[in-house]
Amino acid sequence: MPIQRGENWGMPGGLGPDGVLVRTDAEARALIEEARRANLPLPELGLLGGDLCRTLGGRGDPDAIRSPEAWRFAVDVGAVLLDGRLFWFSAHLTARRRGWAGEALVAMNAAWRGGWNLGPKAHPGDGLLDVSHGRLSVGDRLRARRRVGTGDHLPHPNIRYQRAGAFQTVLEQPLMVELDGQPVQRAANLSIRVEPAALTVVV
Protein backbone atom coordinates (compact mmCIF):
# COMPACT_ATOMS: atom_id res chain seq x y z
CA MET A 1 0.00 0.00 0.00
CA PRO A 2 1.46 3.42 -0.91
CA ILE A 3 2.59 5.69 1.89
CA GLN A 4 0.20 8.49 2.82
CA ARG A 5 1.19 12.08 3.63
CA GLY A 6 2.38 12.38 7.23
CA GLU A 7 2.94 8.65 7.73
CA ASN A 8 6.24 7.20 8.86
CA TRP A 9 7.90 5.07 6.21
CA GLY A 10 10.25 2.16 6.56
CA MET A 11 11.15 0.06 9.57
CA PRO A 12 14.40 -1.14 11.13
CA GLY A 13 15.62 -4.61 10.22
CA GLY A 14 18.31 -6.35 8.23
CA LEU A 15 18.19 -8.20 4.94
CA GLY A 16 16.59 -11.62 5.29
CA PRO A 17 18.47 -14.86 4.67
CA ASP A 18 16.99 -15.20 1.18
CA GLY A 19 17.65 -11.56 0.28
CA VAL A 20 19.93 -10.65 -2.62
CA LEU A 21 22.59 -7.94 -2.58
CA VAL A 22 22.70 -5.72 -5.68
CA ARG A 23 25.20 -2.97 -6.50
CA THR A 24 23.33 -1.17 -9.29
CA ASP A 25 19.81 -0.30 -10.35
CA ALA A 26 20.39 -2.44 -13.45
CA GLU A 27 21.10 -5.50 -11.29
CA ALA A 28 17.89 -4.85 -9.36
CA ARG A 29 15.91 -4.51 -12.59
CA ALA A 30 17.27 -7.80 -13.94
CA LEU A 31 16.05 -9.65 -10.84
CA ILE A 32 12.67 -7.91 -10.95
CA GLU A 33 12.17 -8.77 -14.62
CA GLU A 34 13.28 -12.36 -14.10
CA ALA A 35 10.76 -12.83 -11.29
CA ARG A 36 7.91 -11.06 -13.10
CA ARG A 37 8.40 -13.05 -16.32
CA ALA A 38 8.45 -16.30 -14.34
CA ASN A 39 5.38 -15.21 -12.31
CA LEU A 40 7.36 -15.53 -9.08
CA PRO A 41 7.45 -13.27 -5.99
CA LEU A 42 9.95 -10.42 -6.19
CA PRO A 43 13.09 -11.13 -4.17
CA GLU A 44 14.02 -8.95 -1.23
CA LEU A 45 16.95 -6.77 -2.28
CA GLY A 46 19.80 -5.24 -0.31
CA LEU A 47 20.91 -2.08 -2.09
CA LEU A 48 24.66 -1.48 -2.11
CA GLY A 49 24.58 1.23 -4.78
CA GLY A 50 22.57 2.87 -7.52
CA ASP A 51 20.17 5.79 -7.70
CA LEU A 52 17.40 4.14 -5.68
CA CYS A 53 19.94 3.38 -2.93
CA ARG A 54 21.07 7.00 -2.92
CA THR A 55 17.49 8.27 -2.78
CA LEU A 56 16.86 6.09 0.28
CA GLY A 57 20.03 7.23 2.02
CA GLY A 58 21.88 3.93 1.62
CA ARG A 59 25.55 3.71 2.61
CA GLY A 60 26.53 0.68 0.52
CA ASP A 61 27.78 -1.33 3.51
CA PRO A 62 27.01 -5.06 3.06
CA ASP A 63 27.58 -5.84 6.74
CA ALA A 64 25.28 -3.04 7.88
CA ILE A 65 22.54 -4.17 5.47
CA ARG A 66 22.35 -7.55 7.25
CA SER A 67 22.36 -5.98 10.71
CA PRO A 68 19.40 -4.84 12.87
CA GLU A 69 20.51 -1.23 12.25
CA ALA A 70 19.53 -1.46 8.56
CA TRP A 71 16.25 -0.06 7.28
CA ARG A 72 13.59 -1.88 5.26
CA PHE A 73 11.33 -0.12 2.76
CA ALA A 74 8.41 -1.21 0.60
CA VAL A 75 9.07 0.61 -2.68
CA ASP A 76 7.16 0.97 -5.91
CA VAL A 77 8.14 -0.71 -9.17
CA GLY A 78 7.55 0.85 -12.57
CA ALA A 79 6.13 -1.18 -15.46
CA VAL A 80 6.16 0.02 -19.05
CA LEU A 81 4.79 -1.20 -22.35
CA LEU A 82 7.15 -0.18 -25.16
CA ASP A 83 5.31 -0.59 -28.44
CA GLY A 84 3.51 -3.53 -26.84
CA ARG A 85 6.48 -5.18 -25.04
CA LEU A 86 6.37 -5.19 -21.23
CA PHE A 87 9.38 -4.25 -19.08
CA TRP A 88 9.97 -3.20 -15.47
CA PHE A 89 12.24 -0.71 -13.71
CA SER A 90 13.10 0.23 -10.14
CA ALA A 91 14.61 3.72 -10.30
CA HIS A 92 13.86 5.55 -13.57
CA LEU A 93 12.92 5.53 -17.23
CA THR A 94 14.28 7.93 -19.84
CA ALA A 95 13.43 8.27 -23.52
CA ARG A 96 15.79 10.64 -25.32
CA ARG A 97 18.39 11.35 -27.96
CA ARG A 98 22.08 11.83 -27.27
CA GLY A 99 22.70 15.08 -25.49
CA TRP A 100 18.98 15.35 -24.63
CA ALA A 101 18.37 17.08 -27.97
CA GLY A 102 14.75 17.40 -29.06
CA GLU A 103 11.88 15.62 -27.37
CA ALA A 104 12.66 13.80 -24.13
CA LEU A 105 10.68 12.00 -21.44
CA VAL A 106 11.70 11.08 -17.90
CA ALA A 107 9.72 8.99 -15.37
CA MET A 108 11.35 8.95 -11.95
CA ASN A 109 10.72 6.55 -9.07
CA ALA A 110 14.03 7.55 -7.46
CA ALA A 111 15.06 11.19 -7.19
CA TRP A 112 18.47 10.71 -8.80
CA ARG A 113 19.82 9.63 -12.15
CA GLY A 114 23.55 9.68 -11.67
CA GLY A 115 24.52 13.17 -10.51
CA TRP A 116 21.26 14.70 -11.75
CA ASN A 117 18.29 15.25 -9.45
CA LEU A 118 15.71 14.67 -12.19
CA GLY A 119 12.91 13.84 -9.73
CA PRO A 120 13.24 16.38 -6.91
CA LYS A 121 9.78 15.49 -5.57
CA ALA A 122 9.97 11.77 -6.32
CA HIS A 123 9.22 9.35 -3.47
CA PRO A 124 9.80 5.63 -4.12
CA GLY A 125 6.89 4.60 -1.92
CA ASP A 126 4.03 6.96 -2.75
CA GLY A 127 2.49 5.03 -5.67
CA LEU A 128 3.42 7.78 -8.14
CA LEU A 129 6.10 8.49 -10.74
CA ASP A 130 7.46 11.97 -11.40
CA VAL A 131 7.04 12.41 -15.16
CA SER A 132 8.69 15.23 -17.16
CA HIS A 133 8.06 15.46 -20.91
CA GLY A 134 9.04 18.16 -23.38
CA ARG A 135 11.87 19.66 -25.39
CA LEU A 136 14.46 22.31 -24.59
CA SER A 137 16.43 24.62 -26.85
CA VAL A 138 20.22 24.40 -26.85
CA GLY A 139 20.44 27.39 -24.52
CA ASP A 140 17.82 26.01 -22.16
CA ARG A 141 19.60 22.63 -22.06
CA LEU A 142 22.84 24.35 -21.05
CA ARG A 143 21.06 26.30 -18.33
CA ALA A 144 19.25 23.17 -17.15
CA ARG A 145 22.54 21.25 -16.85
CA ARG A 146 23.76 23.87 -14.40
CA ARG A 147 20.64 23.51 -12.26
CA VAL A 148 19.71 19.84 -12.51
CA GLY A 149 22.15 18.78 -9.78
CA THR A 150 19.91 20.48 -7.23
CA GLY A 151 16.60 19.77 -8.95
CA ASP A 152 16.08 23.46 -9.75
CA HIS A 153 15.55 22.80 -13.48
CA LEU A 154 11.82 22.48 -12.70
CA PRO A 155 9.40 24.07 -13.24
CA HIS A 156 10.08 25.04 -16.85
CA PRO A 157 7.54 26.37 -19.39
CA ASN A 158 8.64 23.84 -22.03
CA ILE A 159 8.51 20.80 -19.75
CA ARG A 160 5.19 19.21 -18.84
CA TYR A 161 5.52 17.85 -15.32
CA GLN A 162 3.11 15.61 -13.44
CA ARG A 163 3.05 13.05 -10.66
CA ALA A 164 1.04 10.06 -11.81
CA GLY A 165 0.36 6.42 -11.09
CA ALA A 166 -0.09 5.82 -14.81
CA PHE A 167 0.99 7.73 -17.90
CA GLN A 168 0.61 7.09 -21.62
CA THR A 169 2.03 8.96 -24.60
CA VAL A 170 2.98 8.60 -28.23
CA LEU A 171 6.29 10.28 -28.99
CA GLU A 172 6.83 12.28 -32.17
CA GLN A 173 9.50 9.77 -33.25
CA PRO A 174 10.82 6.54 -31.72
CA LEU A 175 13.45 7.28 -29.07
CA MET A 176 15.86 5.02 -27.25
CA VAL A 177 14.33 4.05 -23.92
CA GLU A 178 16.65 3.42 -20.98
CA LEU A 179 15.43 1.59 -17.89
CA ASP A 180 17.56 2.00 -14.78
CA GLY A 181 20.37 3.33 -16.97
CA GLN A 182 20.32 0.49 -19.52
CA PRO A 183 19.23 0.97 -23.16
CA VAL A 184 16.34 -1.39 -23.86
CA GLN A 185 14.83 -0.53 -27.25
CA ARG A 186 13.63 2.34 -29.41
CA ALA A 187 9.92 3.01 -29.01
CA ALA A 188 7.31 5.66 -29.73
CA ASN A 189 4.30 4.32 -27.83
CA LEU A 190 4.88 4.26 -24.06
CA SER A 191 2.37 3.16 -21.46
CA ILE A 192 3.77 3.44 -17.94
CA ARG A 193 2.21 2.42 -14.64
CA VAL A 194 3.22 1.93 -11.01
CA GLU A 195 3.07 -1.30 -9.05
CA PRO A 196 2.72 0.25 -5.57
CA ALA A 197 4.88 -1.09 -2.71
CA ALA A 198 5.71 -4.15 -4.80
CA LEU A 199 9.36 -4.55 -3.74
CA THR A 200 11.07 -4.77 -0.35
CA VAL A 201 14.53 -3.21 -0.26
CA VAL A 202 17.01 -2.85 2.57
CA VAL A 203 19.66 -0.13 2.96
| Residue 60, Ramachandran bin (φ over 0: left; ψ between -120 and 50: alpha; else beta) | left
What pLDDT score was predicted for residue 116?
Answer: 84
Q: Taking residues 15-38, what's their average pLDDT?
A: 97
- Among the candidates 19, 41, 75, a domain finishes at 75
| CATH code of the domain containing 141 | 2.60.200.40
Residue at 149 is within a domain: yes
H-only helix segments in the chain:
25-37, 51-55, 62-65, 138-147
Same domain, 33 and 114: no
Whether the predicted pLDDT of 57 surpasses 70? yes
Same domain, 100 and 70: no
Number of compact structural domains in the chain: 2
Residue at 4 is within a domain: no
Same domain, 25 and 91: no
Residue at 70 is within a domain: yes
Domain hosting 145: range is 79-196
Q: Taking residues 157-171, what's their average pLDDT?
A: 86
Q: Which helix (H) or strand (E) holds 194?
A: strand 182-202
Residue at 1 is within a domain: no
Angle, alpha carbons 85-171-162 (nearest 5°): 95
Instruction: Please state the pTM of the whole predicted model.
Output: 0.87
Whether the predicted pLDDT of 1 surpasses 70? no
Whether the predicted pLDDT of 186 surpasses 60? yes
Whether the predicted pLDDT of 18 surpasses 90? yes
Same domain, 59 and 88: no
Same domain, 44 and 103: no
Quick one: pLDDT band at residue 160, thresholds 50, 70, 90?
Answer: confident
Mean pLDDT of the chain: 88
**What is d(CA 147, CA 36) in angstroms, rounded to the nearest whole number?**
37
